[in-house]
Each structure stands twice: as C-alpha cells, then as structure tokens.
Structure 1
Amino acid sequence: MYLPRHPDSPGDTDPIQPVIWTVSVSRLTGLLGDVIPEFDRRARIEQINLGFEDAVAVINQRLRQEPCDVVIAGGSNAAWLRSRLDVPLVPIQANGFDLMEALARARRIAPRIGLVTHASDVPTFGSFQDSFGLQIEHRRFVTREDARDCIADLRANGIEVIVGTGMAIDHAEAAGLQGVLLYSADSVRQAFEHALELTHTLARSGSRRVPARQRRSSRAGQGTALLGDSSVMAEVRQHIALYAAHDSTVLVSGETGTGKELVARQLHAESGRRGRFVALNCGAISESLLESELFGYSDGAFTGARRGGRVGLVEASDGGTLFLDEIGELPLPLQTRLLRVLEEREVLRVGATEPTPVNLRVVAATLQSLEQRVQAGQFRRDLYYRLATLRIVLPPLRARRGDVALLVHHFFQQLRGVDAPLDEDAMALLSAAQWPGNVRELRNLVDRLRIHWQPAEGSIDASRLLSLAPELAHDAASSPVLQPPAGRPSSVQLQQLLAAHRNDREGMAQALGISRTTLWRWLRAAGLG
C-alpha cells in the first residue's frame, strides 16, 4: 500500500513544492519515516511501502493522474524501478561511514560477518577489514532468489550476522540470522538532498513532471510550429515520424523562431522513451556554470560546492531526451566531455572519479553552420559527425508563404478562440512579409492583434493592420512583391508602397514610373484615394 501525507501537512497548499515519492519495504521503511519529517517543509513527500512489480504498477497508475518529480528507493528496489518508471529515480547509497558503522555493530554480535549487497553496490572495505581484523564474507545479488541463495550459502559457512540492504536483512532473519541494516539516516538525508537538487535542476530547464493526461492534452499546442500544408513541412513531419523510434542523435538546424525545440519535443513524444524531456540553451550560461549545470558535480568538488554534490542535466534526462539548443556555443572543453557521454553512455561529474551510466537520447539544435565552425576550429569534427547522425532542416517562414494564413488562423484560435478577423488584403500583406523571426515573430504579432481587435470593429483590413504592425512596411522596399509591377498594382501592393514611401505619392509615382494622375486614379479605384 502507499501512505499519503496528511492533508493538513505543511506545504500542501503550495503547488510549486517538489513532489517526492519514496519506495521501500522492510527495515528501510522505518528509517525513511524517521527522516521524512526533516524535509516535510521543503517538499511534498509520500511513502509507497511496496517493492518491485507491485510498486511499478501503483506508481505508473498514479502518474497518469498525479505529478511526481522524483522517486527515492534503495538497493535492489532502486535498480528494478530505474528502467521501469517514467520519472527520475534517486538511489539511497550507503557511504563508507555507513559501512564501517554497520560492520562495527555486526562485530559486536558475532566475529564472522556476512555482507550482502545488490550487484550495483560495490562497497570498499578491504582496508577497514585488514585494520580491524574482521572476517567478512561479501556476496552480491541481482534477484530476490539470488539474495535468498546468498544468505543460505553464508549460513551454511557458519556466518551468524548479516549486514546488508533491507531485502537481505529480511532473508537473514527468516533464516534465523541476525541482521544489521547497511543504510543510515545520513545516507537517507543525502538521497533527499539529491532529489531536491534534481527537482530544482529540472525546474530551471522547464522540465518538471506533469501527469500523462495533461501531457496528452497539451501535445497539440506543442506542435504549433509544425503546422503547414507545404511540401517542406510535410517532409519535416515525415522525418520526425521516421527518426522518433531510433536512439540516434538528431541535429535540428534552422533560423531563429522556426520551431527547433518543438521538433525536439515531438521527437521525444513519439519516441516512447519513459524519461523526461530536458532542455538547455548552451549559449545562455557562462562556461564556468555550464559545466556543472550539464554534468553535475560531486561532494567537495570545489570551494562552495553543495554538500552531497549536484545532479547535472545529463543525469536528469536519464531514460529520456536531452535537448541542447545553440549547440554551436558549447565551449571546446565541454564538447570533449559531451562526446564521451554520447560514445560511452556515461557521465562523469565534476570532481568525481567514477562515472554514472546514463540512457538518454540527445537532440541538438543550431541556427549557425556547424560545418563552418568545424572549419574554423571552433567545433570538434568528431562531435559534429556524432551529433549529425540524423538531420532535420527547418525552412524559414518566407520559404513557405502558403502556410502563413493557416498559422494565423491557428494562433487566433489558440489565443482568442476565434477565426482570424483579417480580410483578404490584410492576409496577403502578412503572407508577403519577410518574417526574419519566422513563426515566433508571426505568433507574437497575432498576440498583439488579438489584444487590439474588438469584434465590433469588424475585420482587420490592410490599413488597420499596418497601423498596428508598422514593421511590416519596413520590408516594402526590398520585398520582390513590392517591386513596381508591369501592370496596375493590386490594392495590397499599393497599400504596401504607400507605407514604404510614407505617403509620399510623388516619390511613389516616380518609383512606379507613372504620372501622379495615373497614381491618383489607381489609388481611388483601390479605395485609397
């Protein structure tokens, strides 16, 4: 069963508080219960007193309806849950002091000690054993049956006391042996500190967990930049559908505002990966901070380092997708470290000596030419080839003008809940613009229009549009659409030319190569006279 916190517990009314679930059975449950009150005001914590398959079933069911940022578990339970949950897991890990204290307690019970740990835990106790003359038999297990066999083997060899994880202690006591729990309150506290640091890291990257139901309902909004009936956008969607199921790294290139992060999110959403989507802009953080943000650091790595160390975004995206925007801004020393993560599937925290294995998919994005940076010696060639295993190139909005009307209608529906109130000339004016900021610029303009527009004023015509968005006239002189036409210009072209010439009709007539009388007649026929 699981034990929810009391509704009157401190912090329940704060929706920003991290949500942490602990998963445990046997002895560890009591130890967690002793430590949880110390963190009760810093997070919403719930105990799930289950293990293995039962814990996975309950957690996955609850995740469909409830948010959870991090799960904490120990020993074999942690190893089992890590690859089966759609949420990051922080393991409770015994440190050297825990081991020495547990062995000292066990020595007071019997001279010969059995140490039973999960295969992922490899404690170092050789020097301690030699210094204190202890007789220690160490066994490692993977499954529950392995643990039971280890205890039986030790008992047959005359061992009377077992030091180990909660499962090992349960089996030892069932076999008539005394047990000493390997974990201490300090190791549990450190796990909570790591979990809280991980939630803060995820919050900074905008990657906090939301229930599956909310993710499904918001997925349509995430794919906004992928709308479009043009052939180039159809090709982009085909690439996403093809690449999503593969773990190979994807390099997404395109101008600012074309939707590179949305492509990365769509790749993650369709990949079936159980972990999170974690995003980092490599150009937004200084090099000194970027290393610890990306790779994390160990306890005591440098002066001022947080006690217990810090989880980096590489570890935070374990089981999910790491999106590295503006990858071309990644400093050369960190490029070497990133390449190791991609090649070895492990990350070494700053100041650490042992790497941590990670299972992640990396999607990188760039608005500059990485090939040119490679030629200039500013980007590692081997990393470039590793990142560009699969490539998606996003077209600028001016290369798919036929999609502008579709996007405008979508944004008005999304932001105001109505169809776009633009007449034909105004829509043509939008379609003819250059859009250096691409889809992002278009959406921001629609946001401005929907604030100013009132239903009583009817549709927005070209004149009203230019009054609300005078920047559209700045493209007039250079836009091919606005060059003097061979015949009589359309009303939209006349409107744009008027704006470009700041209502200087004489200069406009000269640009068109016509008399002022002809211009007056054209303007009057277009309703602009």
Structure 2
Amino acid sequence: MSISLPRSRLSDPDAGLLPVIWTVSVSRLTGLLGDVIPEFDRRARIVPINLGFEEAVDVIGQRLRREHCDVVIAGGSNAAYLRSRLEVPLVPIQANGFDLMEALARARRIAPRIGLVTHATDVPTFGSFQHSFGLDIEHRRFVTREDARDCIADLRANGIEVIVGTGMAIDHAEQVGLPGVLLYSADSVRQAFEHALELTQTLARSGAPSPRRRTPARPRDTDHALLGDSAAMQQVRERIALYAPYDSTVLITGATGTGKELVARQLHAASGRRGRFVALNCGAISESLLEAELFGYNEGAFTGARRGGRVGLVEAAEGGTLFLDEIGELPLPLQTRLLRVLEEREVLRVGATEPTAVDVRVVAATLQTLETLVDAQRFRRDLYYRLAALRIALPTLHERHEDVPLLVAHFFRQLADTDAPLSVEALARLREYPWPGNVRELRNMVDRLRIHWPPERGTLSAATMLAWLPELDAAGRAGAAVPARAPPAAGADSLPTLLARFDGNRARLAAELGISRTTLWRRLREAGLG
C-alpha cells in the first residue's frame, strides 16, 4: 500500500485553502499520474492513493472520517467500481478519440494484429470509429479483473500480437508475453484534473455540503438541470415533480442519450429520501457477477468470496434510490430475485438463509420495448407490471429541436465558461440535424467546438463549424432527417443467419443488435449456439 503527500504541500501554509483531490490508481496509470500531478500542484492539494477496488474503498472510507477530500480522480475499471461506493464526487479519466488513434498508431509500429481491451465504460464510440476507418481490430470489454484476464487469453488464442488498453489490461497482456500500449495519454489525465477543479468550484458556488461533515455529497443531483422549454420537456418535468414524493417504482423509456439517468437522479433529488442514489447498468456485467454485485453475498458463499461477505447495491441504496439502467438486459433468474425485493421489501444475499429488510425505491430505464421482451418470454410479465407502475417517456432531441439553442448555450457555459459563439446560421444548422445520439451527441459536439474555437476568435460561422462537425454536412447530403433503421431482430431463429452475415464475428453482431457481448453470449447459449 502506498499513500503519499506531495512534499511541496507539506510545508505550504496556503495548502489548506486549495481544493483537495485524491487520485486512485494502480499499474501503468500511476506512473502517468505522477508525470502530470506536478503541473497542478499549485492549484490543488493532490494526494495519490496507489490502491484499487475494495482496498481503495476501505482506505478512503477510513481517511474521510478524519480528513477532507473534495473530489476523487480514477480511471477505467477502478473508476467504475468506486463511483457508487464513495461519498465524494468522482471524476473518471477518459480516453478520447485522439488517445485512441495515437495508441493504435504506436501499436501498429509494434505488430500488425492489434487487440483493444477496455473497461465497459471506456471508448463507447469505438464501433463507429472502427467502421469509419475500416480497421480490422479486435475489441474486448471487461468489468472485473477476471474478465480482463479472459479477454487477453481469448485475443492471444486468436493470434493478436499487441494489446492497446487500460493499465490492468496491459498488465495481464505482459504476463502472457504480449506487448502493451497504454490507452490513456497525459492530455486525458490533464482533462480529468481540469474537470475536477471545475467541479470543486461548482460545489463551492452551489453551497453543497462538504464530505468533511460526513453528509453524502450528491452534486450530480443538484447541479445538472433537466433543460428544455419545449412542451415535451415541460411534461417530463411535471411528471418528475408528481412522481418524486412517492415510493412507487418508475420506468423511464427513451433512446440512448436522451437523459434517462439524469431523470432518475432528478426523481431522487426531489424525493426527500435521505439515502444514496446508486446506479447499475444491467447489461455491462456478466450474469454470475451481476448477482453478487446486485444482491451481495455472505462469507463462504462461493470460492473466492471476500471474508465477511459483501453488501450488494440493493442494500447500499438503503433509504435511497436504486437506478437499474438497461433493465431489459437483466437475466431471467435475477428478474425473479428483483421481484422479491420489490414485493417483499427484503433482499437475500448469495449464500444467505435469512433475508435482510430494505427500504429502497427502484427506478428502471430501458431503450428496448419491454412488452416485446415479455412476448418473447425474455422478461417476466409480473416484473414488467411491477416496474411500470409509473412511467416517464423521454423525447428524442429531434422531436424537441427547438431546445437545441438552449442546450448549446448551456454546454458552452458548462464546458468553456463562455457564451455560445455561434452565428444564427450555425445554430440553424444544428437545429436541422436529426441528432441520432440525442443530447449526449450535442454535448460532445460542443466539447469539440470549444476546443477548436476558443471565445477570443469571435463568432463561429456555419461554414467554419462544418469543418469541425462534418457529420452535420454528411447528414444533410444523406437526407438524415429520416429516422435510422432499427437493428435486426434478435430472436433465436434469426441468430444463425445473423452470425453468418457477420462471418461469425460476435463483437460486430452485438454492436449491430445494440446489446452487450455478455447478453449476446447468453442468447446464443439459449439458442444452442454457444
């Protein structure tokens, strides 16, 4: 265990006036953080904690009882693990497209056959990136250490010669004799520090409670407004205000990027519930791991079970809200267990004989049509009715295009602390775009613009904007106002045909179907194709 405090801060009388940032890392990322930390040493008191997962949670919990921390920075699987387990805000280190291109270029100089291994939350746009550039690269996603090790073994068995990925992935690769290239760059680490500093300023302005007082910090509940003046968004806000005070379950439906988790957080913030908001993506974790993650386990429940057992996310949300994203991906056996939680208000840990009473409000979200899954016998009808007691349907951004100027202005203020420098014609082009990625896509475009066009350059014309946002022009030429085609049906009878169409490439098939590789593997197994 290595926990150190920068020497320059130990003797600095003004150190207590600076925001306090703790960095949590293991493996290669620790070295990269060490290279960047001196650049921010005068703007924050930075404490490196070179631990991961359970050890990091334990140490941070102990230290928070006697020390102050404003925000935590972590990357990859470590960040995903810590996010719902800490009482302080967390800023993830995220690789961007430039990081990916640079890492792939370095890997190509080592060997021609490249494997990309990332955590489930990293590089979400790689599929479209790979398709656009015609790259033949095997991509694997992991959630746990064991997943990462299995991904590396699978790639090595398939002839992959070099691995691009997170620090954990590279460690596993080098253990089996494969060279590795770290996905993150110094710039992505710098951006995480900048975001962390912005977050501490926002918390100070909003008067949010400090973790030093041991009050759970919930900046995302209070700082992120649900924006839009359209009639559709006014109706959504009215539903949130109406439903928030009740304990009934809520089902949020909407396309990807429409803000389903934001609505869930708004429901929790307005509910008056004193517990935590705990979120879980049901499609990002394999079935065997998901059971323990959601319901917890007792000591000795299975080989490798942690001493003393472990509290699951249902219990972690005691007195608060449990948000289950992509609820349609929840395996059938776990649907039965979730139904018991909803009906009996109790949870049974793996390996336990006595249930534990819980006070949890469940909010679920899906981009799938659950009624179709019920008809296909992939989702329990009784659970569906229980989850859909109250419903909120989110409109696509294309359906509320009049909100685009307001959102553009908000994201420029949030990301660049400046007014939107767009001309009237540029805003008109943005309103005309069909926004297949919805609000998330708009935010990413604004992030790109504020980097390429700083405020001192004046008003941004439509023609110049298209140079940085070529997808707007491409959409216009292709008549993109027509809704994108739906993914192919995923019934068991069609799976052999779909597999053949993609030459047996399961990663491409999962991306086409819009489901995780774990879900595809389960469906193939159910169809006798596993």
Q: Is the 8 A contact 2:61 2:86 kept in 1?
A: no
8 Å contact kept, 1:222–1:265? no
Map 1:395-410 to 2 at 5 A.
395-410=395-410
Distance 2:449 2:316 in 1: 40
Whether the aligned pair in 2 keeps the contact of 1:322 and 1:361 (CA below 8 Å) is: yes
Contact 1:202–1:313 (CA under 8 A) maintained in structure 2: no
Deviation at 1:477, TM superposition (A): 3.6
C-alpha distance in structure 2 between counterparts of 1:458 and 1:14, whole Å: 34
- 2:83 and 2:331 map into 1 onto residues whose CA distance is 19
Partner SS, residue 377 of structure 1: coil
Distance in 1 (CA, whole Å) between partners of 2:319 and 2:255 is 29
Note the C-alpha offset of 1:443: 0.1
2:462 pairs with 1:462: yes
Q: Distance in 2 between matches of 1:460 and 1:469?
A: 12
Amino acid in the other structure paired with 1:204:
L
Cα distance in 1 between the residues matched to 2:361 and 2:71: 22
In structure 2, the residue matched to 1:208 is 86
**1:31-70 to 2 correspondence within 5 Å?**
42-43=59-60, 45=62
Q: Deviations over 1:115-140 (max 9, x none)?
A: xxxxxxxxxxxxxxxxxxxxxxxxxx
Residue 461 of structure 1 deviates from its aligned partner by 1.1
- 1:308 paired with 2:305, answer no
Q: Measure, in 2, the Cα distance between the counterparts of 1:44 and 1:14.
A: 15
Offset at residue 455 of structure 1 (A): 3.3
SS of residue in 1 equivalent to 2:22? coil
Report the Cα distance in structure 1 between the residues aligned to 2:248 and 2:329, rounded to whole angstroms. 22
Partner residue of 1:273? 273
Does the C-alpha gap of structure 1 residues 464 and 14 become closer, same or farther in structure 2, counting only changes over 3 Å?
A: closer
Runs of 4+ in 1 over 6 A off after TM superposition: 38-41, 65-69
> Does the C-alpha gap of structure 1 residues 237 and 351 become closer, same or farther in structure 2, counting only changes over 3 Å?
same
The Cα shift of 1:45 comes to: 3.7
Asked if the contact 2:335/2:383 (under 8 Å) is kept, the reply is: yes
Q: Which deviations, in whole Å up to 9, do the C-alpha atoms of 1:276-309 show, x marking residues without a partner?
A: 0000000000111100000111111111111111
Aligned twin of 1:435:
435
Specify the code of the residue in structure 2 equivalent to 1:221: D
Structure 1 unmatched ranges of 5 or more:
1-7, 18-37, 49-61, 70-199, 483-529
Q: Tell me, in whole angstroms, the C-alpha distance in 2 between the residues paired with 1:262 and 1:209.
A: 19
Question: What is the deviation of 1:476?
Answer: 1.2
Q: How far apart in 2 are the matches of 1:471 and 1:373?
A: 34
SS in 2 for 1:15: strand
Q: Does the CA contact (< 8 Å) of 2:435 and 2:441 recur in 1?
A: yes
Counterpart of 2:278 in 1: which secondary structure? Answer: strand
For the 8 Å contact 2:433–2:480, the answer to whether it is kept is no
Indicate if the aligned counterparts of 2:22 and 2:71 stay in contact, CA closer than 8 A.
no
The AA in structure 2 aligned to 1:213 is P
Distance 1:330 1:268 in 2: 22
C-alpha distance after superposition, 1:349-396 (max 9, x if no partner): 111100011100000000010011001111000000000000000000
Aligned pairs (5 A) from 1:183-332: 203-206=81-84, 208-210=86-88, 212-213=208-209, 215=217, 219-223=221-225, 226-332=226-332
Task: Give the SS at the match of 2:460.
Answer: coil
Contact 2:295/2:350 (8 A) holds in 1? yes
Q: Deviation at 1:229?
A: 0.5
CA–CA separation in structure 2 for the residues paired with 1:420 and 1:207: 36
Alpha-carbon spacing, 1:390–1:363, altered in 2? closer, same or farther (3 Å): same
| Structure 1 residue 459 displacement after superposition | 1.2
Asked if 1:424 is matched to 2:436, the reply is no
Shift of 1:481: 7.3
Preserved CA contact (<8 Å) 1:201 1:311: no
Alignment-mate amino acid for residue 42 of structure 1: V
**Which residue does the alignment assign to 1:336?**
336
Distance in structure 1 (CA, Å) of the matches to 2:276 and 2:462:
45
Q: Give CA-to-partner distance per residue, 1:390-434, whole Å, 9 cap, x none.
A: 000000000001000000011001111111111111100000001
The residue aligned with 1:474 is 474
Deviation at 1:209, TM superposition (A): 1.4
Q: Deviations for 1:138-182, whole angstroms, at most 9, x for unmatched residues?
A: xxxxxxxxxxxxxxxxxxxxxxxxxxxxxxxxxxxxxxxxxxxxx
What displacement does 1:213 show? 2.2
Quick check: 1:67–1:209 contact (8 Å CA) kept in 2?
A: no
Q: Which residue of 1 aligns with 2:385?
A: 385
Aligned-partner Cα distance in 1 for 2:238–2:320: 22
Q: Distance in 2 between matches of 1:39 and 1:285?
A: 21
- Helix, strand or coil at the partner of 2:392: strand
SS across alignment from 2:236? helix
Output the CA distance in 1 between the equivalents of 2:232 and 2:381.
29
- The aligned residue for residue 162 of structure 1 is none
Give the structure-2-normalised TM-score: 0.53
Tell me how far apart the structure 1 counterparts of residues 400 and 62 of structure 2 sit (CA, whole Å): 50
Whether the 8 Å contact between 1:314 and 1:322 is mirrored in structure 2 is yes
Match of 1:140 in 2: none
**For the structure 1 residues 294 and 201, does the alpha-carbon distance in structure 2 shift closer, same or farther, using more than 3 Å as the test?**
farther
8 Å contact kept, 2:222–2:269: no
| 1:454 to partner: Cα distance | 2.8
- Tell me which structure has the larger Cα radius of gyration: 1
What's the secondary structure of 2:283's corresponding residue? coil
Structure 2 CA distance for partners of 1:68 and 1:410, relative to 1, 3 Å: closer
Q: Quote the Cα distance in structure 2 between the aligned partners of 1:419 and 1:209.
A: 33
Shift of 1:222: 2.3
**Is the alpha carbon distance of 1:416 and 1:202 closer, same or farther for their aligned partners in structure 2, counting shifts above 3 Å?**
closer
Instruction: Verify the 8 A CA contact 1:345 1:357 in the aligned structure 2.
Output: yes
What do the CA deviations read for 1:1-32 (whole angstroms, capped 9, x no partner)? xxxxxxx9xxx998368xxxxxxxxxxxxxxx
How many angstroms does 1:66 deviate by?
8.0
Distance 2:456 2:64 in 1: 57
Does the aligned pair in 1 maintain the 2:279–2:323 contact within 8 Å? yes
Paired residues of 1:202 and 1:208 also in contact (CA < 8 A): no
SS at match of 2:234: helix
The separation in 2 between residues aligned to 1:440 and 1:264, in whole angstroms, is 16
Q: Does 1:15 align with 2:17?
A: no
Alignment coverage as a number of residue pairs: 307
Q: Could you tell me how far apart the structure 2 residues matched to 1:235 and 1:14 are? A: 39
- TM superposition shift of 1:205: 4.3
The range that moved more, 394-403 or 468-477, is 468-477
CA contact (8 A) 1:207 1:276 kept: no
Report the Cα distance in structure 1 between the residues aligned to 2:69 and 2:57, rounded to whole angstroms.
Answer: 19
Q: Which runs of 5+ in 2 are unaligned?
A: 1-9, 11-15, 25-54, 73-77, 90-207, 211-216, 483-530
Amino acid at match of 1:344: E
Q: How far is the alpha carbon of 1:203 from its aligned partner?
A: 4.8
Aligned to 2:31: none
Distance 1:304 1:217 in 2: 35
Cα gap change, 1:319/1:66 in structure 2, threshold over 3 Å: closer, same or farther?
Answer: farther
In the alignment, the residues of structure 2 paired with residue 447 and residue 299 of structure 1 have an alpha-carbon distance, to the nearest angstrom, of 46
Percentage identity across aligned positions? 63
